[in-house]
Structure 1
């Protein structure tokens, strides 16, 4: 396995102009397949020798390594040091990435920006309302105790990302429109939203992960709070460009990757102390307490064998976003490659996770 690569935005932009950049072979393979794999054709069972995948799955990469799953691959895998919808889509556009890990909004946004993709794996959280990914951060001194209180407030907003869609869903839930608040477009990377809240640049912002705990601890004494939004925010997907899925070798490798991806999730849950120490503490530099909070807040991953309910929920999100953004409505069904629907669940049922 090759070491992770640093994501260079300028190199990707150069790649789109046809320059040779990043040391990547176009979308991770030197050879063009003899024939494209039709969208409805059965998935090949195995990847031929020489197949390579470039994967953007920064956090779960470590679970694959720690669990030993990465050593079992029959193809070459290269992990790109990138995450999130905007970076993933830029990499797809530059033909520099085969598969990425995101929430439910980037697969929608990819179609609206001319990069057709398909979801090949999905996971959710058991008991998702009590194990939400995000809470609404409230700036110090701002009087917001309920969702209805966000009327008239300055709210951080990131179009094309899960946090931005969550803001629109919250507004819809309480009968408000974008005109009833002031949306402030801000990137949601790192602690950007927490910093914006602390400085009163915005008054409300969806914050997730360890930022929830840190924001409450650091700014709670100044009157900062967080409140639950009461909506499901738990989808997590692997998705790939349709051009990648048309390559029989890559399609087979992705099938194998999805199987390992699922087993690595079960390994994380079965080995929380090791995951906390090796990933959150040693790799990410968090405290053990922060790591335990993240593990407990995440709960258990639900990796279903059927996507029917998930697709129905996804359609509701698409319809709301299309209405609010003016984009063309999409069929949620078209965002999923159902040839992969049971691949992850079948791998778990077959066992083999260590």
Structure 2
């Protein structure tokens, strides 16, 4: 465990221990969600984007339960916090819930969003190292490809290979965790030839290394799943399950608010909270596009199942029925219904 994550978990554990929340009655995973939230119920939530959106919209003060917000990003950190019983809810893409279950951590998805025009505004592009003789994705056979098996970027690599008729053994997968500038540095230092880049890293990579021959290629695949998920043990606590129900409602409104207030979001989150330049903030808001809360999860689960089947085949994980084993369908309509209770502010 990294020192920073160790410190974060220590702080979270201390906050949880001091919250005074002794937990609610046992709630079977097939029981209806309770609506009453007892006074003093606390959730520890690792979702900085939603926290900031609720702050900017003014809705954060209306949450009917106490929240300890954790500055937690990505599947590896979130799973570590879940295992330490220091976190109740996390926000990730589609791979961490699968990887958690495959590694013995029972979690359930409780909210899902998608984006309008996802192919026009992909979250990732495929970075190509300076000097690599790759002009098209079909050229990556034999290349060294950065690969993070427990993260969304890792699944995207496998899907890209599949899309051009290649198997993992047709390239050299170089395992590394995608954090901060890891992939950018790996491309620039000739450790890999290919790496998926997202967010501001695309712009940063080209600004630094385009003069040396660095490029990025579009992948043409949908890469926009986003979820809230929680350990089953948390969802079996009646008080916390009731609070998560209201969190999911607020989460849905927050995603819509972000799309409806791009300038406030750029300044309030990317500049003030993340410390990025206004230019980077504008770039990221454009790439983010507009989030949509689906009325049901049918298409979401179908896409997630296809990804799970791909990973099971290639990585030899056990097959998983996503609807039955990964999603908590009691929450299927909660976020959408939350939008009808009042306009996002």
Q: TM-score, normalised by structure 1?
A: 0.93
In 1, Cα distance between equivalents of 2:159 and 2:176: 18
Alignment CA distance shift 1:21-1:282 (3 Å): closer
In 1, Cα distance between equivalents of 2:125 and 2:78: 24
Give the corresponding residue for 1:103. 93
Cα offset for 1:149?
A: 0.6
SS at match of 2:39: coil
Confirm or deny: 8 A CA contact 1:138 1:225 kept in the other structure: yes
In 2, Cα distance between equivalents of 1:348 and 1:332: 26
In 1, Cα distance between equivalents of 2:12 and 2:188: 39
Query: Structure 2 residue aligned with 1:51, among 24, 31, 41?
Result: 41
RMSD: 1.8
Query: Structure 2 residue aligned with 1:193, among 183, 205, 211?
Result: 183
Cα offset for 1:290?
A: 1.1
Alignment CA distance shift 1:260-1:224 (3 Å): same
Give the corresponding residue for 2:278. 288
Give the corresponding residue for 1:114. 104
SS at match of 2:131: coil
Confirm or deny: 8 A CA contact 1:27 1:97 kept in the other structure: no
Paired residues in the alignment total: 342
In 2, Cα distance between equivalents of 1:76 and 1:23: 15
Q: Deviations over 1:282-331 (max 9, x none)?
A: 22221111111111111110210110111111111111101111111100
Cα offset for 1:352?
A: 3.2
Cα offset for 1:27?
A: 11
In 2, Cα distance between equivalents of 1:126 and 1:51: 35
Alignment CA distance shift 1:27-1:346 (3 Å): farther
Alignment CA distance shift 1:318-1:21 (3 Å): closer
In 1, Cα distance between equivalents of 2:5 and 2:140: 38
SS at match of 2:110: strand
Confirm or deny: 8 A CA contact 1:54 1:80 kept in the other structure: yes
Confirm or deny: 8 A CA contact 1:269 1:300 kept in the other structure: yes
Cα offset for 1:29?
A: 5.9
Q: Deviations over 1:92-111 (max 9, x none)?
A: 00111000000000000111
Q: Deviations over 1:151-177 (max 9, x none)?
A: 010100001100011111111111111
Matched, 1:91 2:81: yes
Confirm or deny: 8 A CA contact 1:27 1:98 kept in the other structure: no
Query: Structure 1 residue aligned with 2:238, among 244, 248, 266?
Result: 248
Give the corresponding residue for 1:166. 156
SS at match of 1:77: strand
User: Structure 2: which 5+ residue stretches go unaligned?
Assistant: none
1:33-182 to 2 correspondence within 5 Å?
Answer: 33=24, 35-182=25-172
In 2, Cα distance between equivalents of 1:221 and 1:41: 59
Confirm or deny: 8 A CA contact 2:44 2:86 kept in the other structure: yes
Give the corresponding residue for 1:338. 329
Query: Structure 2 residue aligned with 1:326, among 304, 310, 316?
Result: 316
In 1, Cα distance between equivalents of 2:303 and 2:270: 31
Give 4+ residue runs of structure 1 displaced > 4 Å after superposition.
Answer: 26-29
Give the corresponding residue for 2:16. 25
SS at match of 2:272: helix
